[in-house]
Amino acid sequence: MDAAKPPPSGLAIVICDQIIEDKHTHKKSLIGIFNQIAAPQFPCRHPRMCVFISLTEGRGQCEARLRIVHEETGNTIGELKGQIQFADIHTVAEINFDLVGIQFPQPGLYSIEFYCDDNLVLERRFHVLKINPPKGPPPAEL
């Protein structure tokens, strides 16, 4: 790592169900923003979650890493790596992660951590809750 190269500035980290990008304007729509996941039993597998990251003030290329960590145990339950190229410090980089089938071993507090060149740039905590399924038959339709 270049000690003289500061990390980029984080603008946003958002967890949602889906990210749609307009093919003409490249504008993004974040659908179903959430802060928690609920499951009746553990371990549980979440079908799909998307993570939107926005950064600026990057210099050149950086090694990017997204981790999902269980806060109580410190265990990493998912990790992705890649590279980001900043044309200049005014560039705003928007990165979409589509995470399919992430398994959560137990309920608790989790965090999504985003690193550039091993510097923590953004972090977002969320809860994974155990819920009791409803008992009895479903309510009658109106």
Domain boundaries, the chain: 9-130
3-state SS class at 38: strand
Q: Pick out the chain residues at pLDDT < 50.
A: 1
pLDDT of 3: 60
| Residue 89, pLDDT score | 95
C-alpha to C-alpha distance for 54 and 75, rounded to whole angstroms: 25
Q: What are φ and ψ of residue 49, in 5° steps?
A: -140, 145
For 9-130, give the CATH class. Answer: mainly beta
User: Given this model, what pLDDT does residue 138 score?
Assistant: 67
Residue 95: per-residue pLDDT: 95
Output the pLDDT for position 137: 73
Contact yes or no for 71/109 (Cβ under 8 A):
yes
